[in-house]
Amino acid sequence: MISDSRPIDPARVAAATAAHGLDPRQSAEVRVLIPTGYGLNCEAETAAAFALLGARVEQRHVGDLLAAPEQLHDFDVLAFIGGFSFGDHVASGRVYANRLRFRLGDDLARFVADRGLVIGMCHGFQVLVKLGLLPGPIAQRGDAGDRLAPQRASVIVNERIGYRDSWVRLVHEPETACVWLSGIDRLECPARHGEGRLVFADAELEAQLAAAGQICLRYVDAQGRPTQRWPENPNGSPGGAAALCDESGRVFGLMPHPEAFLYAENHPRWIARREAGESPAFGEGLRLFANGLRAALSR
C-alpha cells in the first residue's frame, strides 16, 4: 500500500479551493482511492489534482485492493488512472477489467449503488467501459446484491492506426447529468492513446445514450463543431464521442487527460493566453476534479 500522497503547499491548496468555491475543511473529509500497479501510470498527476483541492488521497496497489475488497467502501471517490495495464497485450484494459469484474465486481457495483463517485481517464476509461460500469447501469439490485452490467460498448484501436499525442478541444453536452462536468461548457486537455475509438453494441444503444446525455463530451473542431475528422478527433470516434457517464452522472470516463492540465502553465500556449488575459491561475482540468469533490460532499 502507498499511503497519503505527497503533501502540497497549504498556500496552494488555499488558493485552489478558493478559486473553485470549495471549503478546504470540507474537502479534507473526502477520501479518494487511486488503484496503482500492473503497468498503470498517471497516479502522481491524479493524486495532485485531488490533493490540490484539499482531499485526502491514497494510492493502493490493485493486488492489495483485490485481497481485501471491503476497503473500497472506506472511500468516497474511486479514480482509475491512465497507463498500459498488463502491457495491453490482449486489448487495452481487458485483462485488468476482467480481474476487477471477477474479484471486485460486486463491491464495485455496491460502491456505485451507495452513491460513490468514479472517474476514469484514458486507460481508466477503457477499463470502465469493459467493466460495464460505463455506460452502466448496475444490472441487478435487490436481495441478491448489486451486480455489474454486461459490457455494451468498447474502446478500440484508432481509426487512423497509431499513437496520437496532442491537445484536443472538447464540448460539453448541455443535457448531460454528469456531475463532473457541472458548469463546464468547453475543455482543452491532452489526449494520448492508440486505442481510443468509442464504439457501441448497436446504433440503437448509441442513439439512446446520446438522447440521455450520457455521451457527455465530444471532440470539436476550431469552430466548435463535433467532428470525426483527424487530427481534431484523434481516434475517429463516431460523432466525436470522447466520454461517457452513467445514468446517475456520478460515474464518468473520458479518453483525454484533464489531470495533465492543473496549472495554466501546462497549456502549450500559456504565454500567449496570459498576454491575452485568458489565463487563470489554474488549468481547466482542475475544475472537473473540483466538481467531483462537490458531488462527493453532497452524498
What is the pLDDT confidence band of residue 2, given thresholds at 50, 70 and 90?
very low
The single residue of 206, 259, 267, 284 carrying the catalytic annotation is: 259
At 169, which CATH number? 3.40.50.880
The single residue of 20, 172, 257, 267 carrying the catalytic annotation is: 257
Residue 14 has pLDDT above 70, yes or no: yes
What is the pLDDT confidence band of residue 66, given thresholds at 50, 70 and 90?
very high
- Condensed to tens digits (0 to 9), the pLDDT of residues 34-53 reads 999 999 999 999 999 999 99
The single residue of 42, 122, 178, 245 carrying the catalytic annotation is: 122
pLDDT at 280: 85
Query: Is 259 among the residues known to form the active site?
Result: yes
Residue-number span of the structural domain to which 55 is assigned:
2-297
- Average pLDDT score over residue span 229-240: 96
Is pTM beyond 0.75? Reply is: yes
pLDDT at 6: 63
Evaluate whether 97 touches 137 at the Cβ level (below 8 Å): no
Rg (CA), the chain: 18
Separation of alpha carbons 32 and 20, rounded Å = 18
Number of domains in the chain: 1
Q: Element (H or E) spanning 38, and its range?
A: none
Q: For residues 145 and 294, which has the higher predicted lDDT (pLDDT)? A: 294
Q: Which residue has the cell 454486461?
A: 150
pLDDT at 1: 40
